[in-house]
């Protein structure tokens, strides 16, 4: 049976990881429909950062009931997951930039 701490960690990690597909979907949709790359890439990066920050703040709010070490470990885990998520998002968006702009041009020509 899972304890309260286990469930906290599972949902915390899932929430943090959900920021990556959410922000990528936003950037891909907006670039395909507007053709503007830099503003929407910046907004998607900020969206991912906000999800990570909200997750960490939520963790700080709920985790101290269990232990201070549990709280600090969760903050470090959240910071690392958010940083890796941001690096992956930037990398994927830069590699997909040309294909997103091509789909925008196809969308405009129809």
The tens place of each residue's pLDDT in the chain, 110 residues long, gives 888 888 889 999 999 999 999 999 999 999 988 889 999 999 999 999 999 999 999 999 988 888 899 899 999 999 999 999 999 999 999 999 888 888 887 777 76
pLDDT score for 69: 92
Reported as type and span, the H/E element at residue 101 is helix 68-109
Rounded to whole angstroms, what are the CA distances from 78 to 2, 46, 49, 100?
Answer: 21, 16, 11, 30
How high is the pLDDT of residue 110?
67
Q: Which residue from 92, 21, 10, 90 is spatially nearest to 55, judged by alpha carbons?
A: 10
How many whole angstroms separate alpha carbon 27 and alpha carbon 40?
5
- Both tokens assigned to 101: 């702009």
Q: How many domains, in total, are found in the chain?
A: 1
pLDDT of residue 78: 96
Domain holding 98, by residue range, is 4-109
Q: What is the pTM of this model?
A: 0.88
Closest C-alpha among 12, 19, 11, 22 to residue 76: 12
Distance CA 43, CA 88 (A): 15
């Amino acid at each position: 049976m899972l304890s309260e701490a286990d469930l906290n960690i599972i949902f915390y990690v899932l929430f943090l990881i959900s920021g990556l597909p959410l922000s990528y979907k936003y950037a891909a949709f907006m670039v395909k429909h507007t053709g503007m790359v830099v503003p929407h890439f910046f907004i998607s990066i900020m969206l991912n950062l906000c999800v990570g920050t909200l997750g960490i703040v939520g963790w700080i709010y709920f985790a101290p009931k269990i232990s201070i070490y549990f709280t600090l470990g969760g903050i470090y885990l959240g910071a690392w997951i958010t940083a890796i998520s941001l690096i992956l998002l930037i990398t994927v968006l830069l590699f997909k930039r040309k294909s997103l702009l091509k789909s925008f041009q196809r969308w405009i020509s129809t």
